[in-house]
């Protein structure tokens, strides 16, 4: 048997919009707690962050109420593509805003 016949097919990428109910608690934690705390710890302001980045998580143990918890796996800033499609417009607006702010200062 050749190594190529043993290859596992690549998993299909699944991109869900920002309002996917399955990840509402993760989104809320990331936006309201984790990202602000990261900026504070690292001494960053919002314009210092990349216009597009993503974070990958593993599921952690269930909490005392049976809710999912999450463990940060990695933050990607250099090999990120603006998907899902909903991200493209938001990315374009962020780029225009940053150019305008840089030009004004």
Torsion of CA 87, 88, 93, 99, to 10 degrees: 120
The phi and psi torsions of 43 (rounded to 5 degrees) equal 65, 40
Work out the average pLDDT over 13-23. 78
Residue 80 in any domain: the answer is yes
Q: What is the pLDDT of residues 79-91, one digit of tens each?
A: 777 666 777 888 8
Closest CA to 79 of 95, 97, 56, 102: 56
Residue 62 in any domain: the answer is yes
> How much of the chain is in helix, strand and coil states, percent to nearest 5?
45, 10, 40
User: What is the domain range of residue 79?
Assistant: 17-104
Residue 21 in any domain: the answer is yes
Q: How many domains does the chain have?
A: 1
Residues forming beta bridges with residue 57, ordered by sequence position: 72
Residue 3 in any domain: the answer is no
Residue 102, judged by CB atoms within 10 A of its CB (0-12, 13-18, 19+), counts as exposed
Q: What is the pLDDT of residues 67-81, one digit of tens each?
A: 889 999 998 887 777
Report residue 95's pLDDT band, with 50, 70 and 90 as the boundaries.
confident
Distance CA 53, CA 69 (A): 21
Residue 10 in any domain: the answer is no
Residue 12 has pLDDT above 90, yes or no: no
Residue 6 in any domain: the answer is no
Instruction: Indicate the pTM of the whole model.
Output: 0.65
């Amino acid at each position: 048997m050749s190594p190529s016949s043993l290859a596992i097919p690549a998993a299909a990428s699944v991109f869900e919009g920002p309002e996917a109910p399955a990840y509402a608690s993760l989104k809320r934690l990331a936006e309201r707690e984790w990202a602000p705390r990261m900026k504070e710890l690292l001494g960053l302001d919002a314009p210092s962050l990349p216009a597009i980045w993503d974070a990958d998580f593993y599921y952690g143990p269930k909490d005392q109420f049976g809710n999912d918890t999450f463990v940060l796996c990695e933050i990607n800033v250099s090999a990120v593509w603006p998907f899902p499609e909903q991200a493209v417009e938001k990315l374009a607006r962020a780029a225009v805003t940053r150019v305008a702010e840089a030009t004004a200062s």
